[in-house]
A and B are shown apart, each in its own frame.
Chain A
């Protein structure tokens, strides 16, 4: 299937979901505001701490807020455009995946469009403001090349986040139990990447750089943007991490799908 055709289908499926969401517009606002509020309060947490101390391990306030916001923004894009991954346990356990398998459209595309997390809009809004502020107030030496690289790092960050979500939610093919406990745990591990990696023991650093490469979403981009010596050059591995996690996630998803047996009722 050609890429343009995929985009077309994605857009059509997405718009249908959007109509369903707008039907319940009270919920729409509550979710958006609560996501934004959660983020603002997380920001207040950092602000309260930095009000007392000048730096954590050599990291300034705006550098940490950047990492913090990167985790939230990628999560927001994940919910807004790829929320369907979180519905996978439902699709598998209720046998709704049957429907998807019958259509001549890539299954993963249909899974992505199973829902829209409108809360992502709140994340995106507040997170975007915080990232903007961090880049303005932080000590950044701007060059045209740097802007391009930052854009590239943003894209790889989103890819990594969505890939991890897809892989974690594919656990639904093995764990025959409604509920999202396992993917939620994987999701929560992103907390480790909200703060400078240098705070953690070696094992944790290796873990969030390889197995679950959350560090390439927030920490390594931050070391590049704010010119942290001691970590220079590591950010270049971000595209590798993105491609690797994308391939791994798709592999896990396909493997799980091959084991899928419908429910009988």
Chain B
């Protein structure tokens, strides 16, 4: 991509970052709501582990770390990006985007990255605070693990964007986005390992989950952070994430090309 077109997309990312800042009350409240969820889940797991040292190969200390990493990976790409893409399609403002000399998908991705930067930063701060109150969080020592973790987090964003984008494009055929968003959230949460580590699943379900792209979103970053995978295996996993990211990206492109030919936009 040439320098000029990169600049275009950078300014879109910047704009979306400022947008989040402008509507900070809603953002902060949404963030608080996520924190409440994290607390509820934390206490649930504490209860599950009371009187047990080990469940499905995870110790309580590992589980705490798992929850925090999941929270981080989940909050870097949130509700905001989800509703903004489908909103454009539903209210017809996608017509304006069709006129712009920008690739719709790349523009939305830059928008998402802009917002993710802030959301990820905020959750990182919150997590550091939270972690300092908890004992027994297992942090990796080797800097290499952190490098690999950040790499896999970036790939996770790409994969999650792919899933969100495909789901949002479905709104070309529906009149509301809520049902599609709920379905996507429910399926992603279960199959990515956001609710419960995939190792807890019965064999057949675990195997199914590992065959699907969703596991790249949560399962892979947590495995790398908890050092359940060696360096070589981590690199393999990251390559798999990148593969899914690309597949979903091109699937999104294909679906967009097909969908815009069917578009009906309400006159206003």
Spell out A's residues near B (CB within 8 Å). Answer: 24, 26-27, 30-35, 37-38, 41-42, 44-45, 48-49, 51-53, 56-57, 119, 175, 177, 179, 181-182, 184-185, 188-189, 191-192, 194-196, 198-201, 204
A52 close to B200 (CB less than 8 A): yes
Task: Give the CA-CA distance A104 to B200 in the complex, in Å.
Answer: 58
Contact of A26 among B40, B174, B186 (CB under 8 A): B174
Task: Give the CA-CA distance A48 to B173 in the complex, in Å.
Answer: 34
Spell out B's residues near A (CB within 8 Å). Answer: 23, 25-26, 29-30, 32-33, 36-37, 39-40, 43-44, 46-48, 50, 52, 55-56, 173-176, 178-180, 182-183, 185-187, 189-190, 195-196, 200-202, 205
| A56 surroundings in chain B (CB, below 8 A) | 44, 47-48
**Inter-chain pairs besides A51-B202, A181-B33, A184-B29, 19 sampled, C-beta below 8 Å:** A24-B175, A33-B179, A34-B178, A38-B186, A41-B186, A41-B189, A45-B195, A45-B196, A48-B196, A48-B202, A49-B196, A51-B200, A57-B47, A119-B178, A179-B23, A179-B26, A191-B36, A195-B40, A204-B39
Secondary structure type dominating chain A contacts: helix
B186 close to A192 (CB less than 8 A): no
Distance (Å) between the CB of A9 and the closest chain B CB?
27
Interface centre among B25, B29, B46, B189 (most CB of A within 10 A): B29
B25 close to A177 (CB less than 8 A): yes
| A182 surroundings in chain B (CB, below 8 A) | 29
B176 close to A27 (CB less than 8 A): yes
Task: Give the CA-CA distance A175 to B25 in the complex, in Å.
Answer: 10
Q: A48-B196, A199-B46 are in contact. Are A31 and B179 (CB under 8 A)?
A: yes
| A195 surroundings in chain B (CB, below 8 A) | 40, 43-44, 47
Closest to B182 in A: A34
| A198 surroundings in chain B (CB, below 8 A) | 47
Distance (Å) between the CB of A64 and the closest chain B CB?
10
A191 close to B37 (CB less than 8 A): yes
Q: What are 9 pairs between A and B in contact, CB < 8 Å?
A: A27-B179, A31-B176, A34-B182, A37-B187, A51-B200, A175-B25, A184-B29, A188-B37, A201-B43
B32 close to A34 (CB less than 8 A): no
Task: Give the CA-CA distance A200 to B46 in the complex, in Å.
Answer: 9
